[in-house]
Structure 1
Amino acid sequence: MSEVIKNRYDFVVLFDVENGNPNGDPDNGNAPRVDLDTGHGIVTDVCLKRKIRNYVETVKEEEEGYQIYIKEGIPLNTSDAKAFAELSIDEKKIPAMKKEDPTLDKKIRDFMCSRFFDIRTFGAVMTTFVKANLNCGQVRGPVQLGFARSVDPIVPQSLTITRVAITTEKDAEKKKTEMGRKEIVPYGLYRVEGFVSANLARKVTGFTEADLELLWEAIINMFEHDHSAARGKMAVRDLIIFKHDSELGNAPSYKLFDSVAVEKKNAETQARCYGDYEVRIYEEKIPEGVTCIRKS
């Protein structure tokens, strides 16, 4: 059985999109998310976690210990109920059971963490347990992601499209085509930064070395089984990992992130592919006790 991780990690992910919408905003006609002040593109952490969950679900196929808690079509309380069933807990008798067994909260938390990969990784809010006055309803996961932000401002485009398939018979009597719109980013390179806490892994979820390797694999491949016409061509281009020699870390995250620079080769032209950028890691900025690992 794989051991719980003992080292802290910080990481940088570079991914790009070509002629697609990496993360539409439903409050803005599903247009690509943009920082209105700077014009930089944004992809939310929730969107990226969804891709990671989907990859793990695809490759593990409900394997023991790798089920996904937050998934389409499965109410959360259905998954919560599995803990009560497996641990023979009567929801109506929880106060009395907690008096008899002070470790009941920990047993429920450990059960959920051991069964669901995404709880063990990202944590979760399990409302069923919160409402039952259990202290295990909110689990803080060791892996956290920020918002992804494009390296340069993006120029979203709204394209008019036509289709010959008419929605209704009544409309078909009046017209032969229908109009629609497609929101795209012609090209954008995005950067997201993340964190892995060995301290939370040890104290809370039991996130293991095997889980960590699966996480790196999922990040690198998170768009490979998620292609669609709406998202265009998306790919992870680089994964830069900073491994600390200790559980609590040997340097502040920002110093490590500052050592990674992404710049256009020609500042006068609009980037249209990954080759238009240069990625540099300034190793002299990386403090002692931290190792840089690059995966792609």
Structure 2
Amino acid sequence: MSLHNRYDFVLVFDVRDGNPNGDPDAGNLPRLDAESGHGLVTDVSLKRKVRNYVGLSKAETPPYDIYVKEKAVLNETHEKAYRAIGAESELTGDEKKRKGSPDTVDRARKWMCENFYDVRTFGAVLSTGINCGQVRGPVQLTFARSVDPIIAQEHSITRMAVATKADAEKQKGDNRTMGRKHTVPYAIYVAHGFVSAFLARQTGFGEDDLTLLWEALEQMFEHDRSAARGEMTTRGLYVFRHDSELGKAHAHALFDRVTIRRKEGVDFARHFEDYTVSVNVEDLPPGVSLIQRI
């Protein structure tokens, strides 16, 4: 069933003694805004967690298979699409032919949307190598930003083993390996999201897919535990539902209704209870309703 409503949503999550999204260009330190000191988590990181949850809960089977996943070879998936729509003849020959005819590309794109949840949800560039076109996804997420500036703590860690015999000989039997670990003591992050009914119609993203998206955003951290990420938890999912496809209010005006502030007298927040979350539901624009998922 296709969507007939626009949605704007606010995702609130926190981290305690963990690294929510390390920056490989900065020694895997937690990402931050260099000017303000606020922590950042990329939209790519959040989408990865949604993909992982959907893949786990639906066993990566159509129509809930995952296109961008670990060890995937994307062009092999494109080739699979061509074979599924009966266009094997366009997989051989010169480079121009391998780009596919307009009709073949359109049918391959449709097949990809039908079979891969993340393609019809977030969109994808499917034109690398074997051409399956491009898909603009109906669901978009912003970077998540921490409510307060963060500090990144650096910890020295020790492993009571070494990797090779040569390492052991160098240490004369001490057999220790030193390392470093970066954590954020505590922070609450807020991300904004958007669901377009118009783009959903183009990809086939329907009501069941939307329900699965809300479920994934609520549960994704429960199945993404690791020593590096510490404790991460979804603390709030506030969904503004418009009673039309075009919408009844500006997204930013709705997002401003969700405010998170540190409580007075709390100098160093270390728990979710150190903050106050308030949602202004008075005088909501006509045609907009709030669905508080958590």
Match of 2:58 in 1: 60
Whichever residue aligns with residue 223 of structure 1, its letter is: F
Gaps of 5+ in 1: none
**Residues 177 and 110 (structure 1 numbering): CA distance in 2 closer, same or farther, change over 3 Å?**
same
Residue pair 2:54, 2:60 contacting (<8 A) in 1 also: no
Residue pair 2:13, 2:234 contacting (<8 A) in 1 also: yes
Of 136, 142, 157, which residue of structure 2 is paired with 1:140? 136
Deviates more, 1:58-67 or 1:141-150: 58-67
Partner Cα separation in structure 2 for residue 216 and residue 41 of structure 1: 24
Whichever residue aligns with residue 263 of structure 1, its letter is: R
Partner Cα separation in structure 1 for residue 164 and residue 283 of structure 2: 63
SS at 2:9 equivalent: strand
Q: Deviations over 1:45-70 (max 9, x none)?
A: 00000000000000000232000000
Alignment map for 1:106-117 (pairs within 5 Å): 106-117=106-117
| TM-score calculated relative to the size of structure 1 | 0.92
Alignment map for 1:42-191 (pairs within 5 Å): 42-89=40-87, 90-91=89-90, 92=92, 98=101, 103-128=103-128, 137-173=133-169, 174=171, 175-191=174-190
The Cα of 1:169 is off from its aligned counterpart by 1.5
Residue pair 2:7, 2:195 contacting (<8 A) in 1 also: yes
Residue pair 1:256, 1:285 contacting (<8 A) in 2 also: no
**Aligned-pair RMSD on alpha carbons?**
1.8
Partner Cα separation in structure 1 for residue 259 and residue 7 of structure 2: 19
- Identity of aligned pairs, percent? 53
**Residues 276 and 80 (structure 1 numbering): CA distance in 2 closer, same or farther, change over 3 Å?**
same
Whichever residue aligns with residue 153 of structure 1, its letter is: P
Q: Deviations over 1:64-106 (max 9, x none)?
A: 20000001111001111111101111225859984xxx64333
Partner Cα separation in structure 2 for residue 96 and residue 171 of structure 1: 51
Partner Cα separation in structure 1 for residue 239 and residue 70 of structure 2: 31
Residue pair 1:142, 1:200 contacting (<8 A) in 2 also: yes
SS at 1:179 equivalent: strand
SS at 1:182 equivalent: strand
* Count of residue pairs the alignment pairs up: 286
**Residues 183 and 86 (structure 1 numbering): CA distance in 2 closer, same or farther, change over 3 Å?**
same
Q: Deviations over 1:207-254 (max 9, x none)?
A: 000000000000001111110000101110110000000011111100
Partner Cα separation in structure 1 for residue 157 and residue 98 of structure 2: 60
Residue pair 2:109, 2:134 contacting (<8 A) in 1 also: no
Alignment map for 1:14-25 (pairs within 5 Å): 14-25=12-23
Partner Cα separation in structure 2 for residue 213 and residue 146 of structure 1: 20
Residue pair 1:7, 1:249 contacting (<8 A) in 2 also: yes
Match of 1:12 in 2: 10
Spell out structure 1 runs of 4+ moving beyond 3 A.
92-98, 102-105
